[in-house]
C-alpha cells in the first residue's frame, strides 16, 4: 500500500451495539495512516459515532446506508477507494458482491462466519477464529485469523508495566460502549463487596446520564469522555469486562479478568479465554444471579494473588497488541486486483 492510498471504512455503532466495530476500525485506520494511507469513514447518521471517529483524527461521511442498501454502493462508487474495509454484520454477501467491483481491495472484519464473504481478505482477530468454518469466499480470499491479528490501538503493543499487589485495591468495571444499566449496577455492587477496593467505571457515550446516580458510592469513580482505557487497565488489580474487544485490550495489559457475555456473539470469546486460562467467565449479563457469580469470582481473585498473576500472564501471551500493525502490513503486501 503506497503513501496516499485511499482507504474507506464502512462501519457503524449505536446504543444497542456500542462502539466495538468502530474501535477496531479506528485501530486499523491508525496503523494504515502511519504508513501514509488517506482514511475516510462511511458511517450511519449517529452523532456520537461521528464524534468518536473525528476525535481520532479521521474524516467522516455520514449516510443512511443501513436502511437504504443502495446508499452504501452509491457512496463507494463516488469515492472509489483503493481499499474498502467493511465491519458490520448487517452487510450481506450479496451486498459485498456489489461493492467488490468498485474497489481494488475489499476487506471484511468479521467474527461470526455466519454468511458468505466474497471478498479479498477476511480479518478475524478472535481467539477462536481458526476453528470457524468460513464459506462463500473467493478462490483468492486471504484469511487473517487469530489473536495475533486482534485489532487494538498500537499503544497496546508496549509491554505492560504491572506489579501484582498482595490485595485487590482497584477494580475496573467496563461493560462496553452500549447501555446496560441493570448489569452495571449488579457488577458494581459485586465489586464493592470486596470491602475497601476502589472501583473505576468508564462509561461510554450511550450509557445515559443516570449512570452516576444509579451507582453512587464513595469508592466508585465514574469516568466520562475517556477514549483510551489502557491507563485504567494498568492501574487495576482486576477487571470485570464485557467479552468484546475490551477483553483483548485487557489481555494485552496483563489484567486479570472476570468476563461477562453482553451479547450472544461474545460467548465464543468468553469460553475460549476461560479455556486458555486468561479469564474467569461469569456467564450472561442478563442472568438473575449475575451479581452473586461475579462476587464469587472476585472473592477467589482477591484471595489468590498467584491466580491473578497467572491469568494476566496468559492474557498477554495470547494478545501482544501488534495485530493492527500486522494486518496493515499484510494488506500493504497484497497486490490490488484492480491494478
pLDDT digits (tens, 9 = 90+) for 231-243: 999 999 999 999 9
> What is the distance, to the nearest Å, from the Cα of residue 158 to the centroid of all Cα atoms in its chain?
18
Count of beta carbons in the 10 Å neighbourhood of residue 168: 23
Classify residue 266 by its DSSP letter.
Answer: G
Q: How confident is the model at residue 218 (pLDDT cuts 50, 70, 90)?
A: confident
Same fold for the pair 6-152+321-333 and 158-318:
yes
Its pTM stands at 0.91
Q: Could you identify the residue written with the cell 474498502?
A: 84
**What is the separation of C-alpha 12 from the centre of its chain, rounded to a whole number of angstroms?**
13
- Kindly report the backbone phi and psi dihedral angles of residue 16, in degrees, each rounded to the nearest multiple of 5, phi listed first: -80, -35
Task: Give residue for cell 459515532.
Answer: 49
Is domain 158-318 classified as CATH 3.40.50.300?
no
DSSP letters for 153-183: -GGGGSPP-----SS--EEEEE--SS--HHH
pLDDT digits (tens, 9 = 90+) for 98-126: 999 999 999 999 999 999 999 999 999 99
For residue 209, pLDDT over 60 is answered with: no
| pLDDT confidence tier of residue 339, bands split at 50, 70 and 90 | very low
pLDDT number for residue 176: 78
What percent of the chain is predicted at pLDDT more than 70? 94
Mean residue pLDDT of the chain comes to 91
Over 60: is that where the pLDDT of 210 sits? Answer: no
Task: Give pLDDT, residue 18.
Answer: 78
Q: Where are the domains of the chain?
A: 6-152+321-333, 158-318
d(CA 15, CA 207): 8
pLDDT confidence band for 86 (50 / 70 / 90): very high
C-alpha 121/C-alpha 123 separation (Å) is 7
Class of the CATH domain delimited by 6-152+321-333:
alpha beta
Note the pLDDT of residue 242. 94
Question: pLDDT digit string (tens) for 260-271?
Answer: 999 888 999 999
Question: How far is residue 317's CA from residue 312's CA, in Å, rounded to a whole number?
Answer: 9
Task: Report the DSSP beta bridge partners of residue 259.
Answer: 241, 281
- 3-class DSSP state of 200: strand
Quick: pLDDT tens for 287-308: 999 999 999 999 999 999 999 9
Q: What are phi and psi of 335, to 5 degrees?
A: -70, 140
Amino acid at each position: 500500500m503506497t503513501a496516499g492510498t485511499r482507504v474507506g471504512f464502512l462501519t457503524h455503532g449505536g446504543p444497542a451495539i456500542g462502539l466495538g466495530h468502530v474501535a477496531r476500525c479506528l485501530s486499523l485506520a491508525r496503523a494504515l495512516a502511519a504508513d501514509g494511507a488517506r482514511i475516510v469513514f462511511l458511517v450511519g447518521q449517529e452523532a456520537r459515532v461521528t464524534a468518536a471517529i473525528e476525535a481520532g483524527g479521521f474524516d467522516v461521511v455520514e449516510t443512511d446506508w443501513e436502511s437504504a442498501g443502495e446508499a452504501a454502493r452509491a457512496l463507494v462508487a463516488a469515492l472509489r477507494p483503493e481499499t474498502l474495509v467493511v465491519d458490520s454484520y448487517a452487510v450481506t454477501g450479496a451486498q459485498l458482491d456489489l461493492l467488490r467491483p468498485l474497489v481494488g481491495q475489499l476487506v471484511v472484519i468479521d467474527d461470526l462466519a455466519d454468511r458468505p464473504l466474497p471478498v479479498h481478505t477476511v480479518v478475524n482477530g478472535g481467539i477462536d477464529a481458526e476453528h470457524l468454518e468460513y464459506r462463500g469466499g473467493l478462490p483468492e480470499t486471504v484469511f487473517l485469523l487469530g489473536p495475533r491479528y486482534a485489532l487494538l490501538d498500537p499503544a497496546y503493543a508496549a509491554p505492560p508495566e504491572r506489579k501484582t499487589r498482595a490485595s485487590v485495591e482497584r477494580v475496573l468495571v467496563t461493560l462496553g460502549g452500549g447501555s446496560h444499566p441493570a448489569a452495571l449496577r449488579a457488577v458494581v455492587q459485586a465489586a464493592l463487596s470486596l470491602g475497601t477496593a476502589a472501583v473505576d467505571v468508564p462509561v461510554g457515550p450511550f450509557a445515559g446520564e443516570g449512570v452516576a446516580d444509579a451507582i453512587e458510592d464513595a469508592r466508585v469513580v465514574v469516568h466520562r469522555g475517556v477514549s483510551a482505557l489502557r491507563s485504567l487497565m494498568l492501574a487495576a488489580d482486576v477487571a470485570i469486562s464485557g467479552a468484546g474487544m475490551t477483553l483483548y485490550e485487557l489481555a494485552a495489559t496483563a489484567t486479570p479478568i472476570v468476563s461477562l457475555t453482553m451479547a450472544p456473539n461474545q460467548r465464543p470469546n468468553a469460553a475460549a479465554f476461560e479455556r486458555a486460562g486468561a479469564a474467569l467467565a461469569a456467564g450472561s449479563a442478563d442472568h438473575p444471579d449475575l451479581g452473586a457469580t461475579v462476587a464469587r469470582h472476585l472473592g477467589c481473585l482477591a484471595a489468590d494473588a498467584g491466580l491473578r498473576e497467572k491469568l494476566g500472564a496468559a492474557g498477554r501471551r495470547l494478545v501482544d497488541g501488534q495485530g493492527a500493525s500486522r494486518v496493515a502490513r499484510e494488506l500493504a503486501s497484497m497486490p490490488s486486483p484492480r491494478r
